[in-house]
Structure 1
Amino acid sequence: MDPDQQSGELFQLQTEISGLLGQAETFLASMLQPWRLYQIGIIVALAVLAWVLGLWLGPRYKERIRTLEGRPKWQLRTLLILLNRLRLILFVLMAWGTVAIMRELTWPSRSYIVGLIATIATAWLLIGLVTRFIRNTFLQKLIRWSAWIWVTLYFLGIWGSTEALLDSVALEVGEFRLSILGLLKALIITGLLFFFARVIHKGAQGKIRTNKDISPSMQELIIKVLQVVLFGAAFFLGLKAVGFDLTGLAVLSGAIGIGLGFGLQKVVSNLVSGVIILLDKSIKPGDVISLGDTFGWINSLGARYVSVVTRDGKEYLIPNEDLITGQVVNWSHSNDYVRLDIFFGTAYHDDPHVVRKIAIDAAKGVDRVLTWRPPVCHIVGFGDSSVDYILRFWIEDPTGGLTNIRGNVFLALWDAFKEHNISIPFPQREVRMLADEDPSQPSDSKAKAPGAAGKAD
């Protein structure tokens, strides 16, 4: 930028600031007129009265909300939002009521300031209520405060000068120009687009999840693709809306791609593995899996990890790559039927034929054990202290747990063996105590040395 152009823009900036200050000075001077000063007093009185009424009505309103049981959550949430805006609501109602009375009793110009403040307060109230639907806290505050400032400047009639001032403060690099006004517009427009993208995504997600014709894995894939498309489109449309040239992103995206290839290999690998998992339907939400020492059911499929919830309430976030490259036991991949094995032993004096029949009948009497796939019991060996058996049975609800059903079958065996006098042996050991000897003295059983015997004689 040459010095003449720089000095010209500096002069323009000074002119804009001077004009804005002049408008502010003129506005403040007009406020000192008697017929406007009493309106300012009325506004202050209304604000104080709204604050006092809020202190009195707030606790009673809150107690009333607590007595509402069985109401939908959205109704209770709406009532809480109105409670947080109670003072502003009271001020708006009283302000417009005052304006209506003053216009009936005097000229409209005598209530202009009160009407102006009532209009601004109403706009503030609507903005505060609408922005509550934005979940992101930072984005919510950014849009709320930006909208509050804009409506205030707009109704005060100084937005034009403020807009020119913000547009004059800019960063220019070649043909690229970024002003404070352009940056604010980009943030607000992008935030609104992200808000609408989130609303559309939530609505489509609910429709997709309730569609029984789509498998759970395909549901997750469609939801993830829709999320990427919507939020990606919101981001690029937001940049395009403020005049940002997107052609330069082609070179930048290539450089970012190279960086991702070297620096984010694991992240990209997990993303690709997540897509593969969704496509091949190897696991889906609700499946019961075992991976190493982790046993639980799939809670959700993410872009980078899979959430697995165990029976003790722990939630493991397992990277998608581990599920692709590692050995995973899916207990409910093709069906929900699972066969379980337990081992036990009985004494040698018990008839094996009777033991097998008792064990099978005991397993059949346990809940969750399938009777149309009857249990079987076999001898697997003759141990040192017992005859060893294996009892096999089937269940169809692995999500209900495996350890608890094994424990119930063991308890049924214990009761059945006790009822039929079947012994469950335990290892027996014979312990022999040896006499104490002094290791420093020679043993009596040892023969004396020949040389020593000759000397003794």
Structure 2
Amino acid sequence: MDVSHMMNEIIHTLQSFAFDLGTLSFSLYDIIRVCLIGLVVLLIARLINNYGKKLIKRQKRLDVRTKEVLTKVYEVVIFCIVALMLLNILGINLTTLAVFGGAVGVGLGLGLQSIASNFISGIIILLDNSITIDDYIEINADQKGFVREFRMRYTVLETYDGKDIVVPNETFISSTFINWSHKDPKQRYRVDFSVAYDTDVRAMVELIKDAVGAHPQVINGNKYPIEERPDCEIDSFGDSGINMFVEFWILGIDDGKNRVGGDLNLIILETLKNNGIAIPFPQREVKIISQPAP
């Protein structure tokens, strides 16, 4: 018995195990054939998809937002082509899919509503240029980080401690968020401190402004507008001392390798100590009033 005859016998045996699904008829041979061919098609599609995305991202003439839009559209096109090929291999007449159009619409409106909403939201985000790669986004106190990747359903934020936050794209459309670095990388911060009431405040203000402005990451100098240079002011009058604050601008976010808040706290403390300026602490004055003996 030659190999060809043996293969025909195996195929005939597999075809004998058939079952019906509505108006469609399948055999065990059909299922195995579809699985093998489908696996090959999926592997080839994945290679084409990865190559196409790399090719798009290498285009220097396109900005980041356009690259992300084209990449997302490219993924959808590849997905649709693969889906149609698999249906054709399965032997399903594509014209019959029109019968299921209403059912698919209901499915999108109910079970797939969230997926469809996140996908469309991702397209809107990329087109309106509200978020781009490497923007620092704050959704709430516990969800903030740098945008590292846009996907069809979600956006990945990377925190300073190395964690990835997966945020559904719909969140950026339906909720309020803060984009710290999209328009301008310069950010303003402040450090609060207190001094005793007998302090020469005018002289102390100049000392603090010079000390803070000397930090290499703090924006300072005549080439910058006065509102971006370090500024020290009185915040309020406390029970034990004068509450002060110093405002300053830096490039980027005050965290990670760009963190300057801790350095400035130490600089302010050393400046006050070196100039004999006392830092007040809570205290109470107790007076004992003696009463005359009866």
Structure 1 residue 330 displacement after superposition: 0.7
Matched, 1:328 2:199: no
Gaps of 5+ in 1: 1-22, 28-152, 435-444, 446-457
The one-character-per-residue Cα deviations of 1:406-441 (angstroms, maximum 9, x if unpaired) are: 11111111111111112221221246799xxxxxxx
Preserved CA contact (<8 Å) 1:194 1:231 = no
CA distance in 1, matches of 2:9, 2:286: 104
Structure 1 residue 160 displacement after superposition: 2.2
> Could you tell me the percent identity over the aligned residues?
33
Equivalent in the alignment of 1:422: 277
Matched, 1:258 2:106: yes
Structure 1 residue 180 displacement after superposition: 1.9
Structure 1 residue 336 displacement after superposition: 0.9
Equivalent in the alignment of 1:195: 43
Equivalences for 1:403-442 in 2 at 5 Å?
404-430=259-285
**Root mean square deviation, CA, Å:** 2.6
CA distance in 2, matches of 1:409, 1:193: 59
Structure 1 residue 208 displacement after superposition: 1.9
Question: CA 1:399/1:301 → structure 2, altered by over 3 Å: closer, same or farther?
Answer: farther
**For structure 1, which segment, 344-353 or 374-383, has the greater mean C-alpha deviation from structure 2 after superposition?**
374-383
Equivalent in the alignment of 1:216: 64
Preserved CA contact (<8 Å) 2:253 2:259 = no
AA aligned opposite 2:134: G
Secondary structure of 1:234's partner? Answer: helix
Aligned with 1:341 (options 177, 190, 197): 190
CA distance in 2, matches of 1:367, 1:210: 35
Secondary structure of 2:59's partner? Answer: coil
Equivalent in the alignment of 1:285: 133
Aligned residues between the structures: 283
AA aligned opposite 1:376: D
Matched, 1:318 2:167: yes
Equivalent in the alignment of 2:233: 378
Secondary structure of 2:261's partner? Answer: helix
Preserved CA contact (<8 Å) 1:217 1:284 = yes
Equivalent in the alignment of 2:86: 238
Question: CA 1:431/1:308 → structure 2, altered by over 3 Å: closer, same or farther?
Answer: farther
Preserved CA contact (<8 Å) 1:194 1:235 = no
* TM-score when normalising by structure 2: 0.86
Structure 1 residue 199 displacement after superposition: 0.6
Greater helix share, 1 or 2?
1
CA distance in 1, matches of 2:280, 2:254: 34
The one-character-per-residue Cα deviations of 1:293-352 (angstroms, maximum 9, x if unpaired) are: 123211212222222222222222222222222221111111211111222221121111
Equivalent in the alignment of 2:247: 392
Aligned with 1:358 (options 192, 195, 207): 207
CA distance in 2, matches of 1:431, 1:312: 49
Question: CA 1:326/1:378 → structure 2, altered by over 3 Å: closer, same or farther?
Answer: same
Equivalent in the alignment of 1:206: 54
User: Larger C-alpha radius of gyration, 1 or 2?
Assistant: 1
Aligned with 1:270 (options 118, 137, 143): 118
Gaps of 5+ in 2: none
Preserved CA contact (<8 Å) 2:135 2:147 = yes
Equivalent in the alignment of 1:182: 30
CA distance in 1, matches of 2:201, 2:194: 10
The answer to which structure, 1 or 2, has the higher relative contact order (CA under 8 A, 6+ apart) is 2
Question: CA 1:243/1:264 → structure 2, altered by over 3 Å: closer, same or farther?
Answer: closer
